[in-house]
Structure 1
Amino acid sequence: MCSSPLVGRERERRLLREAAAPGTLTLLAGAAGTGKTRLAGELHDPPRTTVLTGHCPPGAEPFPFAPLVEALRRAPVPAGLSPLCGALRTLLPEHADRLPAAPETAAHPAVADHRLYRALTELLDALPPAVLVLEDVHWADPATRGLLAYLAPRLPARLALVLTYRPEDLPRTFPVAALAARTPPGTGHRALTLGPLDPDDLLDLARHALPGAAPTAEDARRLHAWTGGLPLAAAETLRHLAARSRGPAPVPAVPDRPPVPPALRDWILHRLHGLDRDTRRLVRAACVLDGPAPEALLARVADLGPARTDRALSRACRSGLLTPAGPADLAPATPLVAHVCRAALPHGKRRRLNRAALEALAARPDPPHARLARHAREAGMAQEWTDHAERAAARALEQGEDAAAVALLRDALTRPDLAPRRRRDLALSLGRAALTGVSAEHAVAHLREVLSAPGLPAAERGEPRMELGLLLLNQASQNRTARGELVRAAAELAERPDLAARAMCALAVPRSTPDSVDTHRRWMEQALAAAHRSRDAAVARTVAVNHATLLAQIGDPAAWEAQPPAPGTRTGPDSLADRREFARGSLNLADAAVMLGHYERADRHLDAAAAWSGADDTPYIHESVRALRLTLDWARGRWQGLAQEADRRREAPRLAHLHPVTAELGLLRAALAQAQGDPALARALLVRIRPECPDAPHGDPGPRPRGAADRDGEPRPDHTVPVRAFAAGLLARAATARGEPARAWEHVEDLVSLIAAKGIWVWAADLVPGMEALLECGRGAVARDLCTRLRAGLRGTDAPAAATALLRLEAALARHHERYDRALLLYAEAEDAYRAMPRPYDAAQVREACARVHFARPHGEGAGAGVTALRAALEGYGELGATWDAARVRRLLRARGVSTAAVPGRPHRDRRLSPREGEITDLAARGRTNREIAELLHLSPRTVETHVANALSKLGLRSRRDLTPPPD
């Protein structure tokens, strides 16, 4: 197999080079595949002395002195050797011209052997300083073993002897380590043992083998778990992954179960087939069981008696294919070994072994149903497979292991001959388990299949329909489709108040449906009544959580007192469901607090949600918490590294179908891209959330109805109004900056109408840029009416973000009507409010708006104050890194005759460049054209061209293609 870079062996490499000194013996031990040959090869680099290497070949009858013959074949044999060395002519015919004549035939074989030992020792002593490396001496033939026993106490002074071997394959009659005891006093000797590599070492190896995939520490952890850190297995796996890669780098670079290259598979099978029959049976039984197993279980599955089992266990552990997994258990050495051995089993033998494992495990007092389901499936026992899978899933759900339950139920539902009622029950369990996860598409498909099957009574459709509606609502962002399913489920569950209450309280939380706030309140009243009738405390808590969520979403100050108390503060024990409900409620309140502008409150609720949930048992809440924390960082102006973190999480494959979270991260990334001068990326991300917007690409087929499918066939997400409003507000700001106020209003018009119909005006904060654009379109009366309705809609609410946005709209109206003092007063109040939240980006926008008010005063009386306000805005934008906004402000300052520098806080790339040249070369290095840079920085293309040419000259570059992008 091909060599790989030496990683994780720096200490051993140094020790081996130190040990390989003249007159020393070095023993290099290690299990198969640990890299002994690779390490010994380092003695050649740099070649300080001659290195002679010979290998002991495997085989029942190896020829005598095999490694010595190979090593000495190209040795610099000197002339003038004693007649004794003539005995080597038959062994080394290639050196016959330098060897004396052959002596007479010895009278006894022992005399002949002794003569050869003496001759080889003399030859080695006559060589120039050299290192003799004999590989795999566990396979050494008897003659070589005898020579080593003879040579150890007579080691030539100019010879270093290095022996490599596998302890597990060493014959009991040849204890290699005892050779060190045979060396005379004063002779140096050292023993080195190679173990597996750790994940950090494997990360170095992966980065060398997969440079384009940018492997991570998690990739290295997966590789270590799969291979056990065995260097040969890891290197071959990585080489195979590199050879298979095509197109964009895969994520993750190393999957949980990588493909097994043929060479590695055959190497493992060769080790297996080298064992005796009983040991092979025992190893195969362990690989079928695929986990820690006691000796008695292994013996029963392998069908071996006690004495044969003891011998086989000893050989299996010595071979390194089995390893202790506790005081009394054994397991395959690595998942890789188990996978290869199972895959190589003939079909009939694999079924028999799985049936034996099923029978043995089922006899336990507490049967492991998850393992039994797997063995039943592999044994072809369909009914037992389904039974055990269902029982294992139920146990997993009780213990909060929902992801394990999802995997078990999905597997069980692949059985084609399931009875309709059994399929319904399994799909229902799958729907419940998937509610806490990050991927619900399989559960949705199975529940729809159940609901579309003929013959299912209406009374039995309500519960699966409710689970379908909840999944569509939460994970899939199919709000309108979910509403239809939940309304039908509530009717079908009329006789089940406990379940009907869950459907009703889900309908009570406002989303993107056209239902008015009064409709949502009525659903909540019905849910509270149904929960009371059910007399189920768990249902009451679920409804209470959604009641608090409803109040928070509409800005009702009572929301923060309506959440159920935290676990541990009530009488009686707290169940897993209680803890999860509290975490869900905390997440919902945090989400509302971010939207409303209560950031400290959002922090507290996010901390509570994180404390009562985990990445494993409630990944939906866990990932939502992480995304909301990033949104808070955006709002507070903590932008350093935010784009990279948002991209990393947004592109994680496990979140591909968790649309609420990916939408949140996409919005965040779009907002950063727009502020930092990448409008194309911002627009591309925003039209995914607002596909009906006027800025959709020309290649897009245009607006689709709600629920229409994306190009990959998956229904297009129907995001909540606050999410769509955030996107619309960003698009409106971009349109206004391009001088297209009519387009800015188009971006927000439908959402303004929806919010007005629902009566939830706290959602309108992000839409104010589009409302302000009405003033530039000559539609001041409409803007005044919206301002009046917004003011009335916010009355009695606790929504700082919307209240401050109202101040901005009122200020814009005052400026439009030339009431400049009033406008400045309102803008000052808005800036103070933004600073208090804090929202520094919005505060800088308000400063910029103040400057425009000053400049609008007659006779230029506000020019000085306007310049001061623009400089303050520029400073705020610069501290954030808001390149797009800073460029607009600099253009305004230049128009007033005020010179400006590049954006403060963003140092240019090279001190040889001026600030403007550094800014332009940063953009050019990112692939922007001169025209795009000119439009972004409000310069002429000719000016940009001149700056690029000057920068290239200063940097000694011939082309802009030679520019490298700066780190973000």
Structure 2
Amino acid sequence: MCSSPLVGRERERRLLRAAATPGTVTLLAGAAGTGKTRLVRELHDPHGTAVLAGHCPPGAEPFPFAPLIEALRRVPVPGGLSPLCGALRALLPEHADRLPPAPEPAADPASGSHRLYRALTELLDALEPTVLVLEDVHWADPDTRDLLAYLTPRLPAHLGLVLTYRPEDLPRSFPVAALAARTPPGTGHRELTLGPLTPHDLLALAEHALPGGAPTLEDARRLHAWTGGLPLAAVETLYGLAASGDGSDPRPRIPDRPPVPPSLRDWLLDRLHALDGDARRLVRAACVLGGPATEPLIAHVAELTPARADRALSRACRSGLLTPTAPATLAPATPLLAQVCHASLPHGKRRRLHRVALAALALSAEPPHARLARHAREAGLLEEWTDHAERAADHALEQGEDSTAVVLLRDALTRPDLPSRRRRDLALKLGRAALTGISAEHAIARLREVLATPGLPAAERGELRMELGLLLLNQAAQNRSARGELVRAAAELAERPDLAARAMCALAVPRSTPDSVDTHRRWMDQALAAAHSSHDTTVAHTVAVNHATLLAQVGDPAAWKVELPAPGTPHDPPTPDTLARRREFARGSLNLADAAVMLGHYERADGHLDDAAAWSGADDAPYIHESVRALRLTLDWARGRWQGLAEEVDRHRESPRLAHLHSVTAELGLLRAALALAQGDPGLARTLLVRIRPGPGGAAEAPGGPVGGGGQEAPPDYTVPVRAFAAGLLARMATAQGEPARAWGHVEDLVSLIAAKGIWVWAADLLPGMEALVECGRGAVARDLCARLRAGLRDTDAPAAAACLLRLEAALAGHRGHHDRALLLYAEAEDAYRAMPRPYDAAQVREACARVHFARPRGEGAEPGVAALRAALKEYAGLGATWDAARVRRLMRSHGVTPAAAPARPHHDRRLSPREGEIADLAARGRTNREIAALLHLSPRTVETHVANALSKLGLRSRRDLTPPPD
């Protein structure tokens, strides 16, 4: 641990340095691996005082005075010692030339020992001011113990004594704490105890050990859960990960169950083998049980009698390898220990212990089927494994714990000789459970494998295909592939209207497929009819949610009148029916919120998001939960609430929970790109955007990598609104670079798709590319497009698309020289944006108005044009849109107006958050991002974001322009 930074011990280091002074006895306690040795290394040369250190070696054979000899053998022996110190010649032969002659042998052993104690005390007293550190005194030999009992009441005034020890290994015959009570009057003493590190401490360690991995606090929490916060275990794990990684693994740098380095494994096994036989059997039994268990159960699995088990349990607990988890249960100290101990068991013994555990737990009044499945699997009882796994999954599904069911079913489906019928049933349950989750790639692969089974009846094949299609649609964002599966499933399920209705209503929701809106409506009509004929209320609820979603997605005002399934009250018992209604209500609320954000109904979106959040949770419905969080951030972007938004978006984007939830990561990537562009970093914006839309008509790359049939999965096929957002941003950048033809190229295929589908409410974000038609000299195409957009928005309720139409009409009017009409249309568009509100778009309209004013003949519009630019500049500056503000300043200068310089505000400006101010001050003092990150326990990426935000708010271009505040 010497190469790792000392984290989480600042208070202990301060107290130790203050206490470890001459004339003081300090006791430093801590379990094995808590970093006592690392901490005492901070004592070297404090205040010019020499530090001598010695270790008590472990071992059965006592080694008299071992730590004293180690500490003193390199110390120059002072002159002037009394003849008594000649007794030390045998202990310190390397100093024989500086020691007096050896005295006559003592009359008896007791006298000889007393003579040595006096001689060692005199030698220590003759040294310069010194701190003597004796480590691991729980292993101290009897002579060293007796010496300490003699020395502490006679501690020399210029000698400090520091003793480190493990309380769990301290012999009852050696009460170290009593030594401090024996010090003479005026001698100080202090007792310090080291506990585990916190997740924040482990984050600092991870940033040091994994400098290229940008670990997050969530990574640190996983490491803490794995190691219990034990410093030695955490450091060894981190350096093991650093040594094994090649930088190409897209998974979290710190997984839930990291690989165990051999050094850490052997250290843990040494601690286990240090126990006596009965205590060791109890720890192994607890590790086989794998979770909290009662003392009688642990004793039963260990095959110990109650009397032997009772005595051994106290020793196992005292060692720190077993720990209480409740008043009546115990468990291994950490999952790390449990894995190492379990893996070290011989195969035959491990199977036998699992069989004993299986038999004992099966007798419970309410058998824990999830644990029984694990024991059966490890015991090699395959049928019992499958039975218990399915029962546990069924129970989890009844309780709404779909994520738990997914884990159980995925594990059960790994059985190599699973009968085909059983495999089909388990795969179906896995598909249903995975629909609410955030990682469906395994479920998709299993469903495809089962679908390849020859001879499946049409109805069974259709049910499997429907679940596959739904997963491809929702979790994998593969709309075209999903459509093909769902269309085939609907045909195969002709005799099962309840299931066919689910496939049909999924096809009714508009996606990026080429189906027209009329086709989607026909699918919905068929779904409503099938649901009615099925007489299944659950299916009726599903269809009702998708009906509302369809109407909202096409801007039909009737969407908000569709009645969603009533969720009941929070006090209703969690029956399968109430859970299903709550889930459908949450899903419907999320879908309506998503459509409301796209349409520009932000207050309505707030209400639906509140409903979705109230009836879903991070664990029981993680897909809905994560989508709600992303939509709230989207609303913050639209409303101009950009303070700290980039950091918040980055934090969510980096979450390993979202690694395979492509639709949510795409939305977060778009938000980050939009912020980067507005805040003056088009390079970062372009990098993020090409992951979603590489080029005109191109396919996006899969953020999580290929998964699926044959080991490859098609890149995500994002919804049209998501792709339109990306295309619009790319078009803005192309226009800014003077390339209007390329800007139109970014949106052309999406405009064609929207026209083919007839869903013009999706066109709002394509405006920059459509406006570019005017600059390309393709006014006729732009006018035709404007007419089709106007017709397509008739009878819809879509404020964002309506404002887009006004801006496009205004751009056409301005290009044709109809300046008054253009200004009138822009004024209507600005009012529409402020009503939503969308202040960034409103500022862009102000800027467009200025350009119309400047286009008037004979300079008639110069004064109102400048006023409009000043208003736009003020709004851009308030938002932090430095890219736009710079463009407006250039335009003002081109018209002979000198814009006010961007204000260089001091670090204590009220618009800097406290954290931004703190980081800006450190950056101004010359600290690097990594140094700031280590100091404040943040990730370097977070520091980078804070510095960028601070520079933007302060109107500075470089961190070199930062100036530290006066001291």
Normalised TM-score (structure 2)? 0.87
- In structure 2, what is the equivalent of residue 263 of structure 1? 263
Cα pair 2:155 2:184 within 8 Å, conserved: no
**What are the Cα deviations for residues 847-899 of structure 1, in whole angstroms up to 9, with x where unaligned?**
23323333343444334333333333333334334344444444443333333
- In structure 2, what is the equivalent of residue 227 of structure 1? 227
- In structure 2, what is the equivalent of residue 754 of structure 1? 753
Cα pair 2:2 2:38 within 8 Å, conserved: no
1:811 aligns with 2:810: yes
Amino acid in the other structure paired with 2:786:
C
Q: SS of the counterpart of 1:134?
A: strand
1:792 aligns with 2:781: no
1:182/1:868 CA distance change after superposition, 3 Å: closer
Cα pair 1:362 1:372 within 8 Å, conserved: yes
> How far apart are 1:398 and its partner, in Å?
1.8
**How many Å separate the matches in 1 of 2:439 and 2:449?**
18
- In structure 2, what is the equivalent of residue 824 of structure 1? 823
**How many Å separate the matches in 2 of 1:731 and 1:272?**
60
1:232/1:730 CA distance change after superposition, 3 Å: closer
Uncovered stretches (5+) of structure 2, i.e. residues with no partner: 910-923, 925-956
- In structure 2, what is the equivalent of residue 389 of structure 1? 389
Identity %: 80
- In structure 1, what is the equivalent of residue 540 of structure 2? 540
Cα pair 1:556 1:797 within 8 Å, conserved: yes
> How far apart are 1:428 and its partner, in Å?
0.9
**Which of 116-125 and 320-329 deviates more?**
116-125
**How many Å separate the matches in 2 of 1:365 and 1:473?**
42
- In structure 2, what is the equivalent of residue 628 of structure 1? 631
> How far apart are 1:776 and its partner, in Å?
4.3
**How many Å separate the matches in 1 of 2:305 and 2:556?**
74
Cα pair 1:850 1:869 within 8 Å, conserved: yes
**Which of 667-676 and 391-400 deviates more?**
667-676
> How far apart are 1:460 and its partner, in Å?
0.9
Cα pair 1:670 1:686 within 8 Å, conserved: yes
**How many Å separate the matches in 1 of 2:268 and 2:137?**
20
Q: 2:662 aligns with which of 641, 645, 659?
A: 659
- In structure 1, what is the equivalent of residue 583 of structure 2? 580
> How far apart are 1:145 and its partner, in Å?
2.5
**How many Å separate the matches in 2 of 1:16 and 1:854?**
73
Q: SS of the counterpart of 1:453?
A: coil
**Which of 450-459 and 390-399 deviates more?**
390-399
Cα pair 1:121 1:151 within 8 Å, conserved: yes
Q: SS of the counterpart of 2:62?
A: coil
Q: 1:672 aligns with which of 665, 670, 675?
A: 675
Cα pair 2:630 2:668 within 8 Å, conserved: yes
1:710/1:59 CA distance change after superposition, 3 Å: closer
**What are the Cα deviations for residues 415-459 of structure 1, in whole angstroms up to 9, with x where unaligned?**
222111111111111111111111211111111111121011112
1:840/1:194 CA distance change after superposition, 3 Å: closer
1:52/1:714 CA distance change after superposition, 3 Å: same
Cα pair 1:437 1:618 within 8 Å, conserved: yes
**What are the Cα deviations for residues 879-929 of structure 1, in whole angstroms up to 9, with x where unaligned?**
334344444444443333333355x578799x9xxxxxxxxxx9xxxxxxx
- In structure 2, what is the equivalent of residue 646 of structure 1? 649
> How far apart are 1:593 and its partner, in Å?
0.7
**Which of 749-758 and 221-230 deviates more?**
749-758
Cα pair 2:600 2:799 within 8 Å, conserved: yes
1:588/1:872 CA distance change after superposition, 3 Å: same
Cα pair 2:693 2:700 within 8 Å, conserved: no
Amino acid in the other structure paired with 1:847:
R
Q: 1:607 aligns with which of 605, 610, 620?
A: 610
Q: SS of the counterpart of 2:33?
A: coil
1:174/1:836 CA distance change after superposition, 3 Å: same
> How far apart are 1:775 and its partner, in Å?
3.9
**What are the Cα deviations for residues 365-414 of structure 1, in whole angstroms up to 9, with x where unaligned?**
21222222222222222222222222222222222222222122112212
Across the two proteins, how many residue pairs are aligned to each other?
912
- In structure 2, what is the equivalent of residue 589 of structure 1? 592
> How far apart are 1:651 and its partner, in Å?
4.3
**How many Å separate the matches in 2 of 1:18 and 1:670?**
51
- In structure 2, what is the equivalent of residue 843 of structure 1? 842
- In structure 2, what is the equivalent of residue 359 of structure 1? 359
Q: SS of the counterpart of 1:87?
A: helix
Amino acid in the other structure paired with 1:491:
A
**What are the Cα deviations for residues 168-193 of structure 1, in whole angstroms up to 9, with x where unaligned?**
22222223333344445555443333
Cα pair 1:213 1:250 within 8 Å, conserved: no
**How many Å separate the matches in 2 of 1:966 and 1:300?**
69
**How many Å separate the matches in 1 of 2:523 and 2:230?**
60
**How many Å separate the matches in 1 of 2:161 and 2:904?**
61
Cα pair 1:687 1:693 within 8 Å, conserved: no
- In structure 2, what is the equivalent of residue 280 of structure 1? 280
Q: SS of the counterpart of 2:176?
A: coil
1:196 aligns with 2:196: yes
**Which of 19-28 and 32-41 deviates more?**
19-28
**How many Å separate the matches in 1 of 2:211 and 2:707?**
40
- In structure 1, what is the equivalent of residue 892 of structure 2? 893
- In structure 2, what is the equivalent of residue 944 of structure 1? none
1:452/1:92 CA distance change after superposition, 3 Å: same
Q: SS of the counterpart of 1:564?
A: coil
**How many Å separate the matches in 2 of 1:458 and 1:824?**
62
1:14/1:455 CA distance change after superposition, 3 Å: same
**Which of 833-842 and 18-27 deviates more?**
18-27
Cα pair 1:438 1:654 within 8 Å, conserved: yes
**How many Å separate the matches in 2 of 1:154 and 1:612?**
70
Cα pair 1:880 1:905 within 8 Å, conserved: no
**What are the Cα deviations for residues 638-659 of structure 1, in whole angstroms up to 9, with x where unaligned?**
3344344334433444323222
1:815/1:40 CA distance change after superposition, 3 Å: closer
1:465/1:906 CA distance change after superposition, 3 Å: farther
**What are the Cα deviations for residues 746-776 of structure 1, in whole angstroms up to 9, with x where unaligned?**
4333333332332222222233444444444
Cα pair 2:458 2:493 within 8 Å, conserved: no
1:564/1:58 CA distance change after superposition, 3 Å: same
Q: SS of the counterpart of 1:689?
A: coil
Alignment of 1:211-226 (within 5 A): 211-226=211-226
Q: SS of the counterpart of 2:205?
A: helix
- In structure 2, what is the equivalent of residue 880 of structure 1? 879
**How many Å separate the matches in 1 of 2:636 and 2:778?**
36
1:32/1:908 CA distance change after superposition, 3 Å: closer
**What are the Cα deviations for residues 549-598 of structure 1, in whole angstroms up to 9, with x where unaligned?**
11111111121121426523699767222222111111111111111111
**What are the Cα deviations for residues 662-688 of structure 1, in whole angstroms up to 9, with x where unaligned?**
222233233334444444544444444
Alignment of 1:129-144 (within 5 A): 129-144=129-144
Q: SS of the counterpart of 1:162?
A: strand
Task: Give the root-mean-square deviation of aligned CA atoms.
Answer: 3.4
- In structure 2, what is the equivalent of residue 490 of structure 1? 490
**How many Å separate the matches in 1 of 2:603 and 2:654?**
29
**Which of 525-534 and 828-837 deviates more?**
525-534
1:146/1:882 CA distance change after superposition, 3 Å: closer
Q: 2:692 aligns with which of 689, 692, 695?
A: 689
Cα pair 2:134 2:163 within 8 Å, conserved: yes
**How many Å separate the matches in 1 of 2:388 and 2:523?**
40
1:48/1:733 CA distance change after superposition, 3 Å: closer
1:156/1:306 CA distance change after superposition, 3 Å: same
**How many Å separate the matches in 2 of 1:347 and 1:228?**
27
- In structure 2, what is the equivalent of residue 723 of structure 1? 722
> How far apart are 1:84 and its partner, in Å?
3.3
**Which of 657-666 and 577-586 deviates more?**
657-666
**How many Å separate the matches in 2 of 1:637 and 1:189?**
59
1:488/1:157 CA distance change after superposition, 3 Å: same
Q: SS of the counterpart of 1:657?
A: coil
Amino acid in the other structure paired with 1:438:
I
Alignment of 1:562-573 (within 5 A): 562-564=562-564, 566-568=566-568
**Which of 78-87 and 456-465 deviates more?**
78-87
- In structure 2, what is the equivalent of residue 419 of structure 1? 419
Cα pair 2:218 2:655 within 8 Å, conserved: no
Amino acid in the other structure paired with 2:834:
R
1:900/1:80 CA distance change after superposition, 3 Å: closer
